[in-house]
Amino acid sequence: MEKIIIPFRRAFEREEGYALAEVLSPLPPSDDPERFYAIQRSANSFTIQSDLRSAFKSVRLDPQEREIWVDVFVHYWKSINDILAAEAATALDSNPPDWTQVYTSWKELLNFIHRGYTQSHFPPWTIPILYTVTKHLRTFAIRADATILPSTSASPGVNSLDEPSTDSTTSHPNLEDCARQINRIFALVTQDRSPPPNRKYGTYYIALLLFRTYFRLSSISLCKNIIRSINAASAADMPALELFPKAHQVGYRYYVGVVAFLDERYEDALRELEAAYGACLAGPGGARQAERILGYLVPTQLLVRHRLPRQGLLEQYPALEGLYKPLCTAVRKGDLGAFDAALAAGEDQFVRRRVYLTLERGRDVCLRNLFRRVYLAGGWDEKVGETGDRVRRSRFPVAEFAAGMRIMGLQAEGDEVEALVAGLIYKGLIKGYISRQHGMVVLNKKGGAFPGTGV
């Protein structure tokens, strides 16, 4: 039991929550890879409870709290045995590993930890153990589902970029149960009414686990319940988001932004995603966060602000560069053919990330840039303004826009081109109106004919 009691006592005496969480980790430390085997051999199912009760006498705890910790570590010991059995079966490739049993025993561990908080025995500084136990509960649920359904990926993340799943047909019984367990922990931390510091400081970490779980289950609508709960708590006595760890802030804003993006509330999405991107930490972890955020920020900025990422930004993220650079190049040039080709080439990835329809709407920006190029190529009026400068043409033939489209390999004439121009005027991408009688587009000179482009 020394492998458990010594680090536990040290963490408790120093009130180090993360050190305490490491004691309950299902992963052995790198400097002691045989730790679990030593814990397994230190007791048996008949003596484990009495051994722990005796060992915990050296730790300063009141009797009731000591009994709770004994129960917690009894179930931790049982979970370690189940984990070692599953890993052994995987290594020997004999019997199928029973990750469902691992998930079940780990869930029992979480239940006793939950009891420790609801009975007011565990102090708030121990919250990191909730982070560790709930995070690995999700991992075990995914591995258990992968054992039951071999077609299910055993990766603990939604995928490498934490994107919302597009598969709503596959059953995930363990992960669905896991979502309910994490929701209990979410209620545990958000409904704490004790004076600060209290369990509320675990709110955003648990919320992130719920977001990731709901995304994998294709239950994006349930994320809105989490957001509403946090907003309600923030209006009452929840500490400000800025008081939480930066990683929690960035992760929460990212998921809120993605939920708004998928709900087509693009202004809200832009605000949250820009805030998340601006708060990313330096280092590899921050770079991964930035890549996830840019995956949705690039199409959102294109749609809302008609803005493309600056030169060189995407080069830092090769996966994003391969997807978005051809599109961005096409938009800058106003090359509708290249835009359509790039959209078709990345269709599978865009659909998986659920950004395809948003990018498709960006075609209007590409068309606007094409008409802008045609307009610039049309030259100056002979008329000279009061300052002596030449004045841009305000009346532009629809036929010239049609000619520009033909140069780009697109066939469109008359009414079709007028309809395209009218659509851009309606969406605010062009300022002016169409004079059908004269076949002219009358452009606004005062406020700029093509808003946001300086023309």
Question: Regarding beta strands 432-435 and 440-443, do their DSSP bridges make them parallel or antiparallel, or are they unpaired?
Answer: antiparallel
Residues 6+ apart with CB under 8 A from 306: 365, 368, 429, 452
Contact, 342 vs 359, CB < 8 A? no
CA 8 → CA 4, 27, 397, distances in Å?
Answer: 6, 16, 80
Find the DSSP H helices in 93-168: 99-118, 128-148
pTM: 0.87
Contact, 17 vs 129, CB < 8 A? yes
H or E stretch covering 81: helix 63-92
pLDDT, position 185: 97
pLDDT, position 29: 86
Is omega for the bond preceding 197 within 30 degrees of 0, making it cis? yes
pLDDT, position 449: 82
Closest CA to 244 of 206, 282, 286: 206
Give pLDDT tens digits along the chain (455 positions).
788 889 999 999 999 999 999 999 999 888 888 888 988 888 888 899 998 999 888 888 888 899 999 999 999 999 999 999 999 888 877 678 899 999 999 999 999 999 999 987 899 999 999 999 999 999 999 999 998 876 555 555 433 345 666 565 568 999 999 999 999 999 999 998 888 889 999 999 999 999 999 999 999 999 999 999 999 988 778 889 999 999 999 999 999 999 999 999 999 999 999 999 999 887 777 888 999 999 999 999 999 988 899 878 899 999 999 999 999 999 998 998 899 999 999 999 999 999 999 999 999 999 999 988 888 887 655 455 566 565 566 788 888 888 888 888 777 777 888 899 999 999 888 899 998 888 888 888 776 788 877 66
pLDDT, position 77: 94
Residue 93 tokens read as 């490739």
Contact, 26 vs 136, CB < 8 A? yes
Contact, 304 vs 267, CB < 8 A? yes
Residues 6+ apart with CB under 8 A from 371: 334, 401, 404, 421, 424, 430, 450
CA distance 75 to 52: 11
Residue 116 tokens read as 């420790």
CA distance 233 to 228: 9
User: Cα 260 to the chain's mean position, in Å?
Assistant: 12
Residue in the block written with tokens 């190029």: 373
Contact, 300 vs 358, CB < 8 A? yes
